[in-house]
Structure 1
Amino acid sequence: MRDFIIPALSVSISYDRGVGYFTSNWLRLAAGGLKQLAFNGGHARIIASPKLSREDCDALARGMEARLEPIVIKSLSGTLAELECNLEDDTLAALSWMVADGLLDFRIAVAAAELDGDFHDKFGVFGDGHNAVAFRGSPNDSERAFRNYESISAYYSWLDPREAERVAQEQDRFDAIWENRDPNLRVYDVPEAVRRELIEITGRLPRPYQRPAAKNEDRWRHQREAIAAFLDARRGVLEMATGTGKTRTALSILNELHARKLIGGAIVVAYGTDLLDQWNKELLQRTSFPVYRDYADRKETLSYLNASQDAVLLLSRQNLPKLLPKLSAETQRRTLLVFDEVHGMGSASLVSSLDGRLENFVYRLGLSATPERAYDTSGNDFVARAIGPVIFRFTLEQAISRGILCKFDYVALDYAFSDDDRAAVRQAIRRHHAKARTSTPSPVELLYQDLARIRKLSKEKLEPFREFVEAHSETLKRCLIFVETADYGALVQEILMSHAVDYHTYYGDDDRINLKRFANGRLECLVTCKRISEGIDISSVASIVLFSSARARLETVQRLGRCLRIDPDNPSKRALVVDFVRTDDLGPDENDLESTADIERRDWFRTLSKDHAHINGGIAS
């Protein structure tokens, strides 16, 4: 405690601890370090095992509804109630205030039924924002542990790559447990009733540390305005720029409607495992609802339907039509229906299977940074009719000016179509006109899509990119590169291999581990496609490269949002967007909107970045 725990706490801004037993006596012994952690503006996360019998652990493992069983609350109340009488006054005040201020958080872990035991691990990670120390070993967090013969092993991220990898493994393991992704454990938030019982103590004692400087909460007032708009309208779309808190706003609406007893729970409809997993994480952290999942290999709809209490179902978009017949009219009336990336609900297949079937849901909430579907009037009409119109807007421009998203520099690299590209354009146009003379003409939108694909796959972009990264290799650090196809990505990789940068691809489910490695900083660069465009929050992304970019703002805004999130570890972050703009003259048949997409996008980016000077091969400042 004297030589390791307290000194490490004192220089840390994060402390993640998994421990079999956690008692108030440990807090008394570590008081000096905990106070300094608070002075540093730090945050501690602790996963501990409740003092429950084996039978209690088995009961907790009986499905997701066991999260709020009275036995959990009873056990935790007994454990935390001892703090007031066992801790010294200043330590009690420190603990109470840190919980009240959100600087300290607890979660409770119990073993899955098949283990027939307890969460009994002991490990932890200290971090100062740059380096980290991981440790593991036999002591519990109790006073007796420091009277026993105990030992720990410690690993230091700055010593050598093997030590750094061990630290990263311990951090990954803690995160997996915290986020309820370890199949051997069930992890629960401390019940709100228990948290309030503890916080009630705070009024008796002065705060024993300087509270970190208050953030400018007024810049987030758009969330309160969005909540008020939905509560008034009861249905509609919140159009909020990526990174401005759409998910948290939706969770606040869910909690408010439930507190008013207007709903019993919610169904969240989204597309993609990554996005649905992120919803699961946010729901576990910010609500007390049991969460069931029906996507990928999760098949928990039946458990959700049989749940004995209010709950939330996370549902893959394509599964919604099959679910509706299983829900009674009363259940639909008392369920908040949330559509993330709501523009996706306008696809032809969903329109045909859902039109006229959502009216029983009184509360229908759509979320999107760009709800308008390009070239799809019928899809847009369905979203407005079935889910609701846009009832609140908060734009990228507003988010950047208010400091919610970071500013960025814009670089447009010039390229010109090759003879092959021009031939492909002429062929696409001829094919469209030939089809137009038949009894089944193709819509012009298909021509636009063909022309867009030719532009996205032009190999003439590769050489300007090669020259740019030769002059600005720092662009490849914390960088996302968007390509149209894996084959095109292979051409980009040839350029990356000439630079000493750790990169990988992320195209399909088999590559999901690479997204995790990129998020954790173990990859500097990720070559990807549209699968990462929606809903993924990696605040350290510093630059994006847009080999593939659509005329429609939908895709561009989402990809831009990947690099504009404020990075807590880099408060002075200024992002970089590298784009490609076709500058050769258009052919005589190229008088459509799609052919001028690069120019329109360049002008918009310049306005948004406030950097109006076009510098080919350099960064505008």
Structure 2
Amino acid sequence: MLKDVDFKPFYTSGEDAEPSEFLFDGLINSQRFDLGLGFFRSTGFSTLAIGFASFLSSGGTMRFIINDSLAEKDKAALLKGAEEKSDEEYEQELIKDIENLTKTLTKRNQHFFDCLSWLVSSGRLELIAVVPRKNKVGIVHHKFGIFTDEQGNQAAFNGSLNFSQYALNYNVESIWCEYSWDAQGIAEKRIAEMIRLFENTWHGTSPAVRVIPLENVKVALQKKYPKKTLKELVETECVLATEVIKHPGTSPLAREKLRQMVAKMSKIGERLTSDTKAIEPEQQTPNKWVHQDNAISKFLEQERGVLNMATGTGKTRTSLRICKELIQRKQIDCIIISCDGTDLLNQWKVELLKLLRNENIPWIVLKNYSDFHDSETFRLNPVNRILLTSRLQLHKSLKSLPEKIAGRTLMIHDEVHKLGSAGNRTKLQGLSEGIRFRLGLSATPERDYDEEGTQFILDHIGPIIFEFPLEKAIAGGILAPFNYYPIPYELSADDKIRLKNVYSKKAARLKEGNPLSDEEFYNEIARVYKTAEGKVPAFKDFISRHSEMLDRTIVFVETKEYGEGILDIIHQYHADFHTYFGEDDPSVLNRFSNNEIDCLLTCHRISEGIDIKSLLNVILFSSSKAMLETIQRIGRCLRTDPNNPSKVANVIDFIRHSDNDEYLNSDAQREQFLESLSKIRP
């Protein structure tokens, strides 16, 4: 019962009594929850998953009053629930096990949104949306709620708290609370007023707001802020300013200033045509992107070569502009684009289709990777075709390319440093000699400790013809600056045993006459350090003081097994995380990109190419001796974010200084490199 809880009169973030504590205690000890909201986001269910699991398993019901802004997936799930009949078998399966229900509410996958639909269809959650009755502008911004238990006891709150993950986990919020059993009687009167406000709003009798159909609620951002022409933007500003002029609360002086502004803007609007496009970032700041123009000019002049451009500086955009230019010049009949990884190839597919559509280019995109098998179609007729292919399958298409077509082909190798592997050298030797235009893209084209592989890239594609490194990109404001956190650690006793075993193995193999190669030996040594248990307590200590660095974060680990141990620590501070290993669904990455997941733990799969602008933090449990991998990985969080123009990223690294092993010296080199980069500001 609610009376059994040691509730506080006031809860505030950062002190002993957090607002989420009140909500947990209220959910676990009540049967009904009435909530008047500002913004509703279903992430609130995930953040309070344990409390809601207990509440629902005990038969709890909810009524929420929300404003007219919903996330797209939330709206779809709520409307689906309103249209469906409740599935009693699903309900029994879901609520019979609190632990299972907690997991369902925690992980924001399809099961979570199915559960959200069930909450509505079963009547466990009722919602109405409201807007201001009198004003065309503004939103309903109530933030109060009442818990009621089966004995009729009530606990209520009023304050700044929204129902969302950010409000509950990260914002500084405060709430005042009232309890019906308070002997003073004042609380009972205040709760009665909250109930009156809630019921009047719920039943549509409030003079301040009116109820609207859930179907009419705006989808956050997408529909509320559509891309407009300059003329439309000017007209919208004039309308809004006119509304403020008419408002009785606007002072005479403010009215006069606004009238002058509207008059000026109206004259500007008259000079603009309806098809005048909104200014794109490149048009606003031409100098910022001039490196792309220089790279394009250099390639069109040379026709062969590698663009060495830092991650996030527009390698893909630059190459698409090269494609467009060569097509418009009628110098090519087909394009072949090759890289490793389904995620990156899918990203290319989206960008290519945009290019063809926006420029009215009547070419066709063919795909030969994953479940797509268009190589035979391409071989039969490569004219006016763009082939997207995995590097593993590239040799088949190059072998069958007619000499006449090869002379009018543009071949693009993305992440070209991978082209120099031993397997590629064998398969692709000599196959590109007839191709006229050959373009390589990479932030790190040279292969560390592999001169033969690097030479193959130069022979197969051409020399590095343009460079735009990280230092220039950060200084120019094209990439975000970052803070660097090198965490010192020591090997554990088990780590030292594993290290000793590698040296013993080396000695034994030498004695047998079958010595380990230098590469084998250093790989095994490196694996010990990459999976060192000594990093775990160092991480635990760091993240206990900086738990905010698990928000919009990728954690790079060496192995799935090692990662599972790190997940146990992350789970103590953050519920909204997911793994992204070889067996995980590729849609996980899309959900992370769309902010449905906040923290992602992975091995190697997203070190390259993928554009996630909102990413803030990278944690490097695993770092290679070669700087190539480090540059690729930190590049994931250095992309600028238009929704966060003052973004400063964070790179968390693990460094050991205490002995002279060659691999450990690479730790010190990496630290020196990243420390230097972290001092650069735009």
Question: What is the CA-CA distance between 1:430 and the residue it aligns to?
Answer: 4.2
Aligned with 1:280 (options 349, 359, 363): 349
**In the alignment, residue 609 of structure 1 is paired with which amino acid?**
S
After alignment, is 499-508 or 519-528 more displaced?
499-508
Aligned residue pairs, count: 419
Structure 1 residues 348 and 438: alpha-carbon distance in aligned structure 2, compared to 1, 3 A threshold? farther
The answer as to 2:309 corresponding to 1:240 is yes
**In the alignment, residue 636 of structure 2 is paired with which amino acid?**
R
Question: What is the CA-CA distance between 1:282 and the residue it aligns to?
Answer: 0.8
Corresponding position of 2:644: 570
Kept after mapping to 2: 8 A contact 1:244/1:404: yes
Matches within 5 A, 1:91-490: 153-156=215-218, 206-207=272-273, 212=279, 214-287=283-356, 288=361, 289-307=363-381, 309-432=383-506, 435=509, 441-490=515-564
Kept after mapping to 2: 8 A contact 1:294/1:300: yes
Kept after mapping to 1: 8 A contact 2:379/2:397: no
Q: Distance in 2 between matches of 1:611 and 1:584?
A: 28
Aligned with 2:669 (options 579, 600, 621): 600
**In the alignment, residue 234 of structure 1 is paired with which amino acid?**
E
Question: What is the CA-CA distance between 1:381 and the residue it aligns to?
Answer: 1.5
Q: Distance in 1 between matches of 2:332 and 2:304?
A: 14
Corresponding position of 2:62: none
Aligned with 2:621 (options 539, 544, 547): 547
Structure 1 residues 157 and 496: alpha-carbon distance in aligned structure 2, compared to 1, 3 A threshold? farther
Structure 1 residues 606 and 352: alpha-carbon distance in aligned structure 2, compared to 1, 3 A threshold? same
Structure 1 residues 425 and 152: alpha-carbon distance in aligned structure 2, compared to 1, 3 A threshold? closer
Give the SS at the match of 1:511: coil
**In the alignment, residue 215 of structure 2 is paired with which amino acid?**
S
Q: Distance in 2 between matches of 1:430 and 1:376?
A: 28
The answer as to 2:595 corresponding to 1:521 is yes
Structure 1 residues 534 and 565: alpha-carbon distance in aligned structure 2, compared to 1, 3 A threshold? same
Structure 1 residues 362 and 429: alpha-carbon distance in aligned structure 2, compared to 1, 3 A threshold? farther
Give the SS at the match of 2:584: helix
Structure 1 residues 524 and 393: alpha-carbon distance in aligned structure 2, compared to 1, 3 A threshold? same
Corresponding position of 2:104: none
Q: Distance in 2 between matches of 1:210 and 1:387?
A: 38
Kept after mapping to 2: 8 A contact 1:451/1:595: no
Q: Distance in 2 between matches of 1:424 and 1:233?
A: 52
Q: Distance in 1 between matches of 2:316 and 2:277?
A: 31
Structure 1 residues 372 and 211: alpha-carbon distance in aligned structure 2, compared to 1, 3 A threshold? closer
Q: Distance in 1 between matches of 2:510 and 2:574?
A: 51
Kept after mapping to 2: 8 A contact 1:269/1:314: yes
Question: What is the CA-CA distance between 1:433 and the residue it aligns to?
Answer: 5.2
Kept after mapping to 1: 8 A contact 2:334/2:382: no
Q: Distance in 2 between matches of 1:500 and 1:609?
A: 27
Q: TM-score, normalised by structure 2?
A: 0.58
Question: What is the CA-CA distance between 1:154 and the residue it aligns to?
Answer: 2.4
The higher radius of gyration belongs to: 2
Question: What is the CA-CA distance between 1:354 and the residue it aligns to?
Answer: 1.3
After alignment, is 476-485 or 510-519 more displaced?
510-519
The answer as to 2:673 corresponding to 1:610 is no
Q: Distance in 2 between matches of 1:317 and 1:403?
A: 33
User: What percentage of aligned pairs have identical amino acids?
Assistant: 42
**In the alignment, residue 372 of structure 1 is paired with which amino acid?**
E
**In the alignment, residue 503 of structure 2 is paired with which amino acid?**
I
Deviation string, structure 1 residues 195-232 (Cα, Å, up to 9, x no partner):
xxxxxxxxx97346896585212111111111112122
Kept after mapping to 1: 8 A contact 2:483/2:648: yes
Corresponding position of 2:579: 505
Question: What is the CA-CA distance between 1:438 and the residue it aligns to?
Answer: 6.8
Q: Distance in 2 between matches of 1:561 and 1:228?
A: 25
Give the SS at the match of 2:452: helix
Deviation string, structure 1 residues 521-562 (Cα, Å, up to 9, x no partner):
111100111101111000000001000111211111111111
Question: What is the CA-CA distance between 1:442 and the residue it aligns to?
Answer: 4.1
Give the SS at the match of 2:652: strand
**In the alignment, residue 456 of structure 1 is paired with which amino acid?**
K
Kept after mapping to 2: 8 A contact 1:336/1:361: yes
Give the SS at the match of 1:336: strand
Structure 1 residues 433 and 345: alpha-carbon distance in aligned structure 2, compared to 1, 3 A threshold? farther
Q: Distance in 2 between matches of 1:362 and 1:439?
A: 50
Q: Distance in 1 between matches of 2:659 and 2:546?
A: 29
Give the SS at the match of 1:268: strand
**In the alignment, residue 311 of structure 2 is paired with which amino acid?**
T
Structure 1 residues 308 and 301: alpha-carbon distance in aligned structure 2, compared to 1, 3 A threshold? closer
| Structure 2 unaligned spans of 5+ | 1-137, 139-161, 163-212, 225-269
Q: Distance in 2 between matches of 1:433 and 1:403?
A: 52
Structure 1 residues 354 and 230: alpha-carbon distance in aligned structure 2, compared to 1, 3 A threshold? same
Give the SS at the match of 2:585: helix
Structure 1 residues 285 and 236: alpha-carbon distance in aligned structure 2, compared to 1, 3 A threshold? same
Structure 1 residues 481 and 252: alpha-carbon distance in aligned structure 2, compared to 1, 3 A threshold? same
Question: What is the CA-CA distance between 1:434 and the residue it aligns to?
Answer: 5.1
Kept after mapping to 2: 8 A contact 1:304/1:311: yes
Question: What is the CA-CA distance between 1:473 and the residue it aligns to?
Answer: 1.3
Kept after mapping to 1: 8 A contact 2:641/2:647: yes
Q: Distance in 2 between matches of 1:519 and 1:563?
A: 12
Deviation string, structure 1 residues 122-181 (Cα, Å, up to 9, x no partner):
xxxxxx9xx9xxxxxxxxxxxxxxxxxxx99223568xxxxxxxx99x99xxxxxxxxxx
Structure 1 residues 429 and 308: alpha-carbon distance in aligned structure 2, compared to 1, 3 A threshold? closer
Question: What is the CA-CA distance between 1:439 and the residue it aligns to?
Answer: 6.2
After alignment, is 323-332 or 365-374 more displaced?
323-332
Q: Distance in 1 between matches of 2:592 and 2:514?
A: 47
Question: What is the CA-CA distance between 1:311 and the residue it aligns to?
Answer: 1.4
Matches within 5 A, 1:22-33: none
After alignment, is 425-434 or 323-332 more displaced?
425-434
Structure 1 residues 329 and 442: alpha-carbon distance in aligned structure 2, compared to 1, 3 A threshold? farther
| Structure 1 unaligned spans of 5+ | 1-127, 132-150, 159-166, 172-203, 613-621
Structure 1 residues 152 and 526: alpha-carbon distance in aligned structure 2, compared to 1, 3 A threshold? closer
Q: Distance in 2 between matches of 1:355 and 1:210?
A: 48
Q: TM-score, normalised by structure 1?
A: 0.64
**Cα RMSD (Å):** 2.8
Question: What is the CA-CA distance between 1:304 and the residue it aligns to?
Answer: 2.4
Question: What is the CA-CA distance between 1:512 and the residue it aligns to?
Answer: 1.5
Q: Distance in 1 between matches of 2:306 and 2:515?
A: 34
Structure 1 residues 153 and 574: alpha-carbon distance in aligned structure 2, compared to 1, 3 A threshold? same
Give the SS at the match of 1:510: coil
**In the alignment, residue 514 of structure 1 is paired with which amino acid?**
V
Question: What is the CA-CA distance between 1:299 and the residue it aligns to?
Answer: 0.7
**In the alignment, residue 626 of structure 2 is paired with which amino acid?**
A
Structure 1 residues 154 and 291: alpha-carbon distance in aligned structure 2, compared to 1, 3 A threshold? same
Kept after mapping to 1: 8 A contact 2:475/2:680: no
